[in-house]
Amino acid sequence: QQEREACGLELTSATWCEWSRASAAAALPGAVEFTHWVHERGGFVVIVTNRELREEAWTRAVLRRLGVAYDGLMLREGESNKAERWRRSRRLVAGLPGAANPVPVMWVGDQVSDLPVFDARGAIVGAMSQEPPDGREPVLPEGVRFVLVPNPVYGGWTKNPAN
């Protein structure tokens, strides 16, 4: 996106796809090591992304090139709301060898909508939002941590920078 803006060009779905196909993405500092650290301690890593299903081969290629240790990859098949993919990722991990009753303990994202909202029973009911709360009191199950990685380029905050 920075390269395109420097050339006076806009980022479109088509140009994003070209960039994705090039498998040129770089990892955030410490991200690859973190995935290995999780595995060394018996944990699991599932990547839930808004990259489209048609980008799966390119996405896996870049993850392989970077050396990311992951157990599942959930790509977008339609809407960008990640709630259903989060639910599927929990079922995926539950079916992995050595995953007896896995409990998510950390959610990492580069915008607030990458983080789930839970109900009182611990079920995922949707994604966090920059919009004013809809009356639901967010619940954070015990032991769960949210990590928001800074992203100054895009995200829900651009619609409401004061929030």
pLDDT per residue as tens digits for the range 16-29: 777 777 777 888 88
pLDDT at position 156 over 80: no
DSSP characters for 10-72? ---HHHHHHHHHTT---PPTTHHHHHHHHHHTT---EEEEEEEGGGHHHHHHHHHHHT---SE
pLDDT at 74 exceeding the cut of 80: yes
pTM (2 decimals)? 0.80
